[in-house]
Structure 1
């Protein structure tokens, strides 16, 4: 399995023509998009992606053996060949996508808006090694980029962020990075390096697996439980970043007061800051979950399949909108695969509503929403109970799935609760494990 990781290194402020280079590249992509849209019927008939690309380059670039039909070389003189080919690839992709969407629109009785070919794009150039990008042998935190200064393409010495380079040297030393891509975030420019790893994920039978079941919440960021297939709990952890959430809620309070006086139009920069805080919170949660699973030698991280449909209402409306559940799971999946762990998801119905001990539905404590009361009067943490149920549902599914139909039916007759997966709880896994052990003996 190939895993691609990337990291952006900030370009320190200095007098280099990044903006001019970006304008020239985007102008080239815009011009080529218009050209290839005119001759697309001619290009579409060419079989094979490579042959089509070569023909597209011959249309705009003059050589000793080829006379170009369009004046690209005159409009963009001395443009580096690798950058020219990158702009050709970008333009071909835009036109091909537009033609595909247009064909689908014509087949669907033209009910929705007609697709539009966008010439003004936000394409970012790739600095290919040796011809567009060179590492500075003398300084560790510097490099050379080939940029357009308004007259010609020249090499410019650029300084790179020391902290970013230290991170790359610490975590990715000895691994080859791809050609860096220029990107812009928060009015700053970065070089994004990509690294490809070949990872073999572990294949372990369900009975021998150790899982980390995770309940993502709003009050508590995440509750993790390390569990074996027989229901043995090896560890539990509450992950909650109080200070980060307090900072974000203070910012949201300032935005609320600001909007009352000045309106929402002038609060864009404040909302952008709140969004960055929320993204950083999601990164920390994902890192903490993966780290805990790795420390306990978990083979699989189990999440709920969370999907909120329809309009969100109620007093927790804003918290639910800011809840980055999918982003956290996506980041956990990437980090888990890098550590040779797998990811699995189970149905989220009734995981928090049903008590883990099989006594039925729970009642939330109105004073403390993280706590609940079981039918027996027992008070327990609702998120921890849910994490038990998440792990139990995963093991029930994985233990019953490979069995023959006859054997599975006999087990379901002994433990009827496992027939319906959406009502399974931790107590049902314990019963199922006992019955399987009796049959094996």
Structure 2
């Protein structure tokens, strides 16, 4: 019996191409011509939005083409100047531009209605939204009409020279691995060309088969002292694998840059001064990029662990809506909490694991680290080293590792037939709620 396929997902790869100087100019001309057409079409679509706004995409494109494109069956379009200004333009580029223009106008109309009703007004004198027809869009290349793929080494693209449309061939110098998966389907790529980059943004429709679980879950405890503490736990409560993931070099690079911001702020403000708009914006941008890199490193490692053990699920704590609280006076705890990448790591892991056909679940976060995994009660944190905990029996253990065990136990209870365990209270009023399960609860079920 074939394994049931997971829901389809869309992922995008970046294929770098290496055009010559002449070909690069042709690519820039193509993008400029496409954007010029979009500006024309935004005006046309906005003018006729009363008639076009209720149409779906299958009917909207022909309706706009009847307004701007002359054919034997439509010899007198309402706006013939567009057909003359864009002579020999590929029909599929025109249709892509129509869909982009319709999206711009639809967004503007929605924002304008919200402004009229007062939903989007932060103050009484808020100005109405404006229609942006000069958006930095890039052309979508339809297979066979605008681009042809020769293996995965060369690509042929139809470009605008300034006077005519011609085909040019360029080598593909780098790509990723999604094209090697037989179940992935290549969709129409977008041509991205600017002063710094020249590549194809290639979307893939992924149809992964669901992971056939081997009877283990991967539980992840996200913390400050250790970015991610991972445990692989079987259904009977056996801990098969443990790992600490902490890209300290990248974290130090980020913190060093953030520390320089406060030093520069003191020199800039002096006593009673104010910081200007955009102060240290380039430093903050670099720090955001470093955070993205940390998130990808951690999520990639978690996904590889889950894949190597064929995990039934990856389990995280549900930390949505959690807000940081400050520590003692002159403590940097609140600043450290703001650098906690809990949401980013969960989001990236969920995307990566879903592409491989896996499942990601969340459990209640309360008392995952406060309760000892062996059922001996609450633990006591070490005053000097907060990552260590002391059990009531005197045993000292890593607090994050203890928390990951309890997360795994709650994950198994959620995956089992008792899916409503978070809503059920304990039969004994003296016990903790069942949603605060520990690893020892899996042992008790043996």
Fold match (TM-score > 0.5): yes
- How big is each residue's C-alpha offset from its partner over 1:230-282, in whole Å with a ceiling of 9 and x where there is no partner? 32222211122233323333444455555555677464333333322221221
C-alpha deviations, 1:17-42, integer Å up to 9, x for none? 23333232223222212211111112
The answer on whether the counterparts of 1:415 and 1:428 sit within 8 Å (CA) in structure 2 is no
Q: Where in structure 2 are the equivalents of 1:16-415 lying within 5 Å? A: 16-17=24-25, 18-44=27-53, 46=55, 48-66=56-74, 67-70=76-79, 71-107=81-117, 112=122, 114-136=128-150, 141-161=153-173, 164-165=174-175, 167-168=176-177, 171-172=180-181, 176-183=185-192, 187-202=196-211, 209-254=215-260, 256-257=262-263, 265=278, 267-309=280-322, 313=326, 315-399=332-416, 401=418, 412-413=426-427
Q: What 5-or-longer segments of structure 2 have no aligned partner?
A: 1-6, 269-274
Q: Structure 1: which 5+ residue stretches go unaligned?
A: 435-441
Distance 1:11 1:322 in 2: 36
The 4+ residue runs of structure 1 with deviation greater than 6 A are none
CA displacement at 1:386 relative to structure 2: 0.9
Preserved contact between residue 295 and residue 345 of structure 2 (Cα < 8 Å): yes
**Deviation for aligned residue 1:134:** 2.6
Distance 1:418-1:341 versus aligned 2 partners, 3 A rule: farther
Aligned equivalents of 1:9, 1:270: Cα separation in 2 = 29
Secondary structure of 1:201's aligned partner: coil
Number of residue-to-residue matches in the alignment: 419
> 8 Å contact 1:418–1:428 — kept in the other structure?
no
Q: Report deviation, 1:302.
A: 0.6
Q: In the aligned structure 2, how far is the partner of 1:415 from the partner of 1:182?
A: 63
Between 1:263-272 and 1:33-42, the stretch displaced more is: 263-272
Secondary structure of 1:413's counterpart equals coil
Query: Secondary structure of 2:226's match?
Result: coil
In 1, Cα distance between the equivalents of 2:19 and 2:281? 25
- After TM superposition, give the deviation of residue 172 of structure 1 in Å: 4.4
Q: Is the 8 A contact 1:214 1:301 kept in 2?
A: yes
CA shift for structure 1 position 283: 0.8
Deviation at 1:215, TM superposition (A): 0.9
Instruction: Pick the structure with more helix per residue.
Output: 1
Residues 12, 202 of structure 2: 8 Å contact kept: yes
Change beyond 3 A, Cα 1:257–1:155:
farther
1:356, CA displacement in angstroms? 2.2
Contact 1:199-1:340 at 8 Å conserved across structures: yes
How much does 1:346 deviate? 0.8
Measure how far apart 1:328 and its partner are: 1.9
